[in-house]
Structure 1
């Protein structure tokens, strides 16, 4: 009886252990993908995977489910964890998780699998799928956007992806994880793969282009087409302006680019530009630009009539004008600006309502008119002119002034043949021989500032030299 009891207890203990081991196991199904391709980008990177597990009661309160991503060949030697659930958060089946792919992912045969932690279990792997993260997904340029290239017989032409990128060209070379494929067109709608890499050496005529390698994922990351020809002597190429043609000079200089060659020489309006021997040339001037390109055993040339988008204007009044009291001055501005706008100012104050290309001035002062081209290249020109009262026509050079602010004889007023516009040199010296005024455009305005009366009725001296070499000399006594 004693032996039977021992055997019974051992059998019961064995049954309990087996039951416990069975309850600690779960089976995870093969993951079901909610997508066929993972073509991710900065604006979209969410992908669903669904699986089942049983028994539901088999998971512990601390269990976590993990989604692992294989390498590009579908191998899990060094898997990447793309999702981990919170402890004990999953208690029902089936389960759907959303995960994101790494930003460096690229390949055609990725897989995922699901693992649990308590108890430990691993599903079989999913079906294979292509996955790429399209970090750059806009068109880019090759060959400096120049649509042609040429090579000499038995030579080759090097096509390159343009870099660095800017606001007009998001170069894929800025992203080290990307690779590139080159193609040659075989018809208007078909092409063949040529090679991979950042550059392509072409030794056969044809139309070539590049694409960022996003595999079977559709993408907008492709280049312009370039037509390559073979030359025996000289070919005609083209020049591209980085800011377009015409371009707006207010945006700064534009860069002129031509095809790849061994050496270059640039010309402007048929004159050689000293030192301009690179593939590119920067300028902010309109004109006809030509470049001679040495291709080795042959040559090429290209020309562009560059327009910087400016406009011309003129005004029909002189910079300085005198008018009598009651007279007016009618000023007209002529321009070829597109959709021009006009603003008139008097002494730097905007004159309200004056928006036409002409203005009738009735006051003395400093005038300014600003014309702005509002379509295309937005730019402005301005013109300044001054209206004054005419200078008094005195007969003699005075030798006495009284700058006391009473409006009578406050400044030294001399005959009109020596003042503004006469180009006579007027020099005034102190009694110590110091030059206090020297000008070829005297405006009857000395002294403009208050004089320091160290002496009673100080004496100054003047020298006037006319354009015909006549000289007038004398003294000026200043009284209060």
Structure 2
């Protein structure tokens, strides 16, 4: 909520008499006009304050040894209140009549903003009648009151700002609260970020970096103090003052025929000059020599320097007078001075009335009765200075990297001051992902929105994460073709032979001995490597006679190359089932990977090691340790389907088998473990 606080140093607002209560004990002896209390109750800066002033105006009292009757008391001005306090008089006219009531009052209230000790001056003019002679005179006087404003308990009353704290790039709005109808207000802002302003509503400030910023505002209430420094009468017309007995004037007398001067013109005496000054209320606030003093300067010109009259209630009227008072008897100077009167034959002469021009500089006046000049000075003075400061706290918004733990594919951020998290994948909120880390399930761009303990919102830097599928590529041998066990189109295959690129695609045709493997990649850059195999081209000299010829096709060794050589299964019928090496009843690529269709448990297959393959005649077979099984049975079957080798093997050991006596050829190794069967094709070379 915006607050508007208007200060007045001299503000008299008029309300009903019930706004203040007078104190009937505010009397003194001997009787004399009085104001109570002289020492006002202490006030506290920034807190509401109120008190009552009492004016006691006795109808009769003694002044300078004479009994006088107080007919009225006019309050001309009150100055010196601390900024924020006002006085409301019980009488709207600012004039009190003791014959109606000897008591009047004023209600003082407001919120003082600057601590200190203050002297409050009440200027009054008492119009009294001196009973002894019956003359009325104006008797000006003043009363000083004292007020102490103690420092407040905290906070500031000169400006507001919002918000009071926040995160980096914090935008803050400011407003100065102190305004004045009677004074010029100067604002001096220092926002703590290198920026300043002199406006009541300065531009919003943006604090881009974290830290504490001290914001200060100095509010100066200044006043243009205007003073009448001097007043000079250069000339007065004898036509305006010379008709009285005191300054009887006559014209020059000349001979009507010859024109010579018979009698010079002149006056019996010069005028006795003084001036009076009245304010906007019509109150007499200044008279040369003092109000009611009767002082004057005799002559047709007069000067008064060092008047230094402060003009606070314009407009002002100046009257120039010629007094006709003169002494009737000696020895009455004291009485005459007190009463402000002189016995005189004729009335005082008004020699001119002028409105003061209160702008700075020298000004002239002129009328048919008088002319002259006066000097006005104008100075800017600081009436009050109010200083307040506040601290704006700007909190850090951490710049967080999104980190990937590649061992377990977890993205996370590190900051101990974060209290809230929300993860996003490709800009879409991940439901339930509200911890400092998140387990990546699929590839994409990950980041987290977070809130710190100070309420600052931030976003981590996005991180593109590629999560590779858990694939186990391997080589499947099919005669002279090597195949990948994964044939999906999104993957690219690169085959290697002995560390050199050999081919591409999900299969290659083998044409030489060596170590083969492939690397599989996808569009995200994931890579998988297959197992490595040693492939040996099958011998063409199957009969082992050292000559590659047609007799190598005599598979059954009967000396005749015919269809019976193709009767691999030995059933007497050369047909497609001769290619059913694995005995699953179907002729397919799996006849080259016999173990893939056996009933033996996959765990056993993975644990059996047979090498080298191809073999020069020495074959190593390592069997794992089986529960309650100590031995396994192997046999070798040639291409005719005949068992050419049998042996009992020890489990949990490496068994070395010597097959050097067998001719070079392909054989099927049959392994039996507790009624489970494993078939594997081997080459003896």
TM-score in same-fold range (> 0.5) = no
- TM-score by length of structure 1 reads 0.31
Which of the pair has more CA radius of gyration?
2
Q: Say which structure is richer in strand.
A: 2
- TM-score by length of structure 2 reads 0.23
